Amino acid sequence: MTIQQLLKTAPVSTLLLVSFIGLFIIQVLLGVDANNPSTQALIYWGANALPLTMEDDPWRLVSSAFLHIGLMHLLFNGFAMYFFGQVAEPMFGSVKFLALFLLAAIGGNLLNNYVTWQGILDGSAQPGLSAGASGGIMGIGAALLIAALFKISVNGMVLNLKSLIFIMGINLVYGFAVPGIDNAGHIGGAITGLVIALGFVFAQRQRQGAQQQAIAEYQSALTNQLPIADPQVTDYNDPPLRDIFSDNTSQIPVNLEHDSASTVNNTDVNTTINYNNPAYVSVKPVAIKPVKISMIWQLLPWLMMLIVLIGFVWWWQDMHNQILQVLAANE
């Protein structure tokens, strides 16, 4: 897929890729080592750093998702975003896709900070930093897993569940096998994506059920209605139309030339039936009720994301207060 095709199919994914690459190029041009950036440079450019993120810089929960630690890290995450984005964005919609990525990135960073903070309290860990889009990408991958599990289609195709499980498994195994990988960030992002995806899936299943019911009602209405002779046809060499209708052996092929996707909202369907003779019969327009699902189902994905966001705010505030208490006790 070319960059033009990707921009048309998945504009947010394209912009995210451009932002990852653009930020990396700017860093290198300003003197940051392309393969081994220093701790000071990463903190300056917005890495997730404990305790800074949990004290006065909560914005690092988002900024760190656009920052990468070296060229290989960028290439790995860039390929994953390209692979997942062109599928997930058309399925969920561009705005929801962006919200999913950002929330999954925040969830991954929060879990990383929580695990690190608990390690500091029991003496098994030291303050550290993390960066990269991995948490957000794992959230997207987990959301696609849920969509595949519930057989939600994208562009008429159902996702391959086994392939997605294989790819997600590689990422998790790679994270545990290679030192320095933010496993907590991966897991936190994946869990966030799983939770949010449930809202998408349930809303989509309701919408698909309503569409199938509307199409069935449309087809039933076309089958049961009586055709009316075209008033412009006045001279027939064949038997009268009423004789054709009464002949049970007559072949009556029906050619419905319309797009099934537009059937649902079409209220003026002019269909012509050809009886293999000079007589043509016009079918009455069939009014089809537009597909509607209740407001709660339409808002469910957003409500799910709002609940997740509120939970993240509470989680950050709780750790923030704990850190302040410990710092105050040590003064």
Token pair, residue 84, equals: 């997942």
The DSSP annotation for 75-139 comes to HHHHHHHHHHHHHHHHHH-HHHHHHHHHHHHHHHHHHHHHHHHHHHHTTS----EE--SHHHHHH
Angle at 49 between CA 113 and CA 45, to 5 degrees: 140
Strands, E assignment, the chain: 48-49, 129-130, 153-154, 157-158, 228-229, 272-274, 280-282
| Active site annotation includes 320 | no
Q: Which of 134, 153, 246, 320 is catalytic?
A: 134
Candidate list 186, 246, 258, 262, residue with the active-site label: 186
Query: Nearest Cα to 154, choosing from 195, 201, 192, 196?
Result: 201
Q: Is there a catalytic annotation at residue 186?
A: yes
DSSP string, 157-187: EE--HHHHHHHHHHHHHHHHHSTT--HHHHH
As annotated, the active-site residues are 134, 186
